[in-house]
């Protein structure tokens, strides 16, 4: 007679199924399926799980699971179930004996988070509602538009004043550059003549009788 694993493997191969396809359909881990087909039941989490896996796998392959389960019971006696169930019972007893403080703390933390999220969402809703009301208020909209336009207007005025100052400077400079002073000196008696422009002497000479000198300057000229 074939073993449990051989029966399952033979039925799967006849249907041309891969272990991966079985895993995706039954949601049983690949290593557990391999353990079933290799009769390596110690890898599986417990006797109750093994029987459940055998039934699911056999039913999927359209073979009667009862003989396979019975065969497994012969391999793994009921005593193992008692040991397994006893261990679970002890573990449950230890867990039940622990204080409930952790559960209370976790619940309080969850409630706090929910309260904060609810408050924040309510605030956002109120803010959106208030903003919507303001947008429907013509006075508020006009006020906001004036507030936004004011800095732009002030900047425009500042820029305009700066342009005017720059224009004035250029005009004054151009005027100074175009103003010419023409000076003609005629001497009836010989004398020493000195000419200054902006406190700088640019002509200093003795001029004879009847001699004349003509000068053109962009700056006012002082004769001494």
Q: Where are the domains of the chain?
A: 4-93, 181-223
Which is more confident, 128 or 161? 161
Q: Which fold has domain 4-93?
A: 434 Repressor (Amino-terminal Domain) (1.10.260)
Helix (H) or strand (E) segment spanning residue 172:
helix 138-178
DSSP state, residue 189: S
DSSP state, residue 182: E
pLDDT for 90 equals 46
Contacts of 162 (CB under 8 A, 6+ apart): none
Q: Whole-angstrom Cα distance, residue 191 to residue 43? A: 132
> pTM of this prediction?
0.37
Which is more confident, 184 or 180? 184
Q: 41-73, pLDDT tens digit by residue?
A: 888 888 889 999 999 999 999 999 999 999 999
Q: Whole-angstrom Cα distance, residue 16 to residue 172? A: 102
pLDDT for 84 equals 46
Is residue 32 predicted with pLDDT exceeding 90? yes
What is the average per-residue pLDDT within 193-210?
81
Q: Whole-angstrom Cα distance, residue 184 to residue 203? A: 13
Alpha carbon 174 to its chain's center: 57
- In terms of average pLDDT, the best of 4-13, 75-84, 130-139, 198-207 is 4-13
């Amino acid at each position: 007679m074939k073993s449990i694993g051989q029966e399952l493997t033979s039925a799967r191969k006849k249907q041309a199924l891969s272990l991966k396809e079985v895993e995706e359909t039954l949601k049983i881990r690949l290593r557990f399926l391999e353990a079933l087909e290799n009769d390596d039941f110690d890898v599986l989490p417990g006797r109750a799980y093994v029987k459940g896996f055998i039934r699911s796998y056999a039913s999927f392959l359209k073979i009667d699971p009862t003989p396979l389960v019975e065969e497994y019971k012969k391999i793994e006696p009921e005593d193992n179930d008692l040991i397994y169930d006893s261990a679970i019972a002890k573990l449950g007893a230890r867990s039940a004996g622990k204080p409930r403080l952790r559960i209370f703390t976790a619940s309080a933390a969850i409630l706090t988070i929910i309260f904060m999220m609810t408050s924040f969402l309510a605030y956002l809703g109120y803010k959106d509602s208030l903003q919507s009301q303001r947008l429907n208020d013509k006075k508020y909209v006009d006020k906001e538009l004036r507030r936004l336009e004011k800095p732009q207007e002030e900047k425009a005025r500042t820029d305009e004043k700066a342009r005017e100052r720059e224009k004035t400077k250029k005009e004054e400079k151009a005027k100074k550059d175009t103003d010419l002073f023409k000076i003609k000196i005629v001497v009836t008696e010989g004398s020493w003549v000195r000419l200054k422009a902006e406190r700088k002497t640019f002509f200093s000479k003795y001029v004879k009788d009847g001699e004349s000198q003509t000068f053109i300057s962009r700056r006012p000229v002082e004769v001494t």
